[in-house]
Amino acid sequence: MKTDPYHDKDSITELLKQYNNLRNGQTSIFFDEEAFEKIIDYFDEQEDLSKALEAAETAIEYYPYSGSLLIKKADLLLATRKYKEALDILEKAELFDATDINLYILKTDAYLAMDMQEKAVEVLEQAIHSFEGEEKIELLFELADVYDDYEEFDKVFDCLKVVLEEDSTNEEALYKICFWTDFTGRNEESIRLHLKIIDEHPYSELAWFNLAAAYQGLKLYEKAIDAYLYAIVIDEKFDYAYRNIGDAYIRLRKYKEAIEALEKVLELSKPEEVIYEAIGHCYDRLKNYAQARFHYRKALHLNPEDSKLHYKIACTYYNEGQWTSAVKQLDSALKIQRLQPEYNLLMESVSCN
């Protein structure tokens, strides 16, 4: 049986040869839409946009009613910043195939490039009602990105909320809504949303984490800790849960418990200045100044230019009456940040001793 060369994944060279013959009028070989799409994609991947666009135009001569080929041409026009021309092509493509999600994403890109945010939002909001499942969710994420770019942050939260109402286990939405809950302060809404998700999916560690973070945003630290602990039961290596538990315990002035949680973070993830500093702070509050210094120095090793850490070490020496050591650390802090009032006040106090 005769095989078409352009259906063989290793035959792009032969396909290009046949295409060039077609362009030169030297062959009568039949090219289907898929063959043209491969040629267009090849030139696009080679970043030869002029040849890709030429291939798209040739393809459309043979298949003038192909929505997919028109969409490919519009995509290339966008890449060459011909936004109005791309929109005209997309309007034509919509007449032949209004079910291709790329049509609406490219329209959105064109309007955004022309700084026409309202039109971009209008396109997406109308399209969302025409799709279901994964395609609807993809459009909701696109809309969220538009709102983010134009700093309409409450609407970003709204989009993510709708995504989770459509698919309560969507990991991308669960990760993102945690940030936007904190950013917009819509903690009560987040609590209601995640309680509902947990009711349906009690083993979703992300839902438990987001619930805890919302409680923490309302300063309900005991409730937050309980929810974080559920997340950890489900995923014992959930380092961000331990991190936030540590913060919650610090807020409750339960420093020993905070140290335990923060040391778990160090076991599960790479060393971070902020974690060592937080542990040092806990020991400081417990008046264990040697351990406080040990952890402040660990943090300082990761960020030698942090004058605040030198100052905190100096404070531990000051609290122990070790004036010479305190002065040495304050000198280091003042070399980095000479005009910091706190450092100068402590230096004056040490000098009086």
Residue 335 lies in a domain: yes
Domain range for residue 337?
Answer: 310-353
Which residues make Cβ contacts (< 8 Å) with residue 46, sequence separation at least 6? none
Residue 47 lies in a domain: yes
The number of angstroms, rounded, from the C-alpha of 151 to the middle of its chain's C-alpha atoms is 16
* CATH code, 5: 1.25.40.10
Residue 347 lies in a domain: yes
pLDDT at 5: 41
Cβ proximity of 333 and 314 under 8 Å: yes
Question: Rounded to 10 degrees, what is the CA torsion of 65, 66, 71, 74?
Answer: -50
pLDDT at 7: 46
CA 66, 68, 148 angle in degrees (round to 5)? 145
- For residue range 98-134, list pLDDT tens digits in order: 999 999 999 999 999 999 999 999 999 999 999 999 9
- For residue range 141-190, list pLDDT tens digits in order: 999 999 999 999 999 999 999 999 999 999 999 999 999 999 999 999 99
Q: How many of the other CB atoms lie within 10 Å of CB of 94? A: 17
Nearest-angstrom CA–CA distance, 180 and 187: 10
Q: Residues 338, 343, 348, 353: is their CA dihedral positive or negative? A: negative
CA 279, 282, 284 angle in degrees (round to 5)? 110
For 165, the 3-state DSSP assignment is helix
Cβ proximity of 40 and 52 under 8 Å: yes
What's the mean per-residue pLDDT of the chain?
Answer: 93
User: How many folded domains does the chain comprise?
Assistant: 2
Residue 159 lies in a domain: no
- For residue range 256-268, list pLDDT tens digits in order: 999 999 999 999 9
Residue 193 vs residues 162, 169, 181, 211: alpha-carbon distances, Å: 10, 12, 11, 9
- Of 43, 75, 97, which one is at a domain's C-terminal end? 97
pLDDT at 309: 97
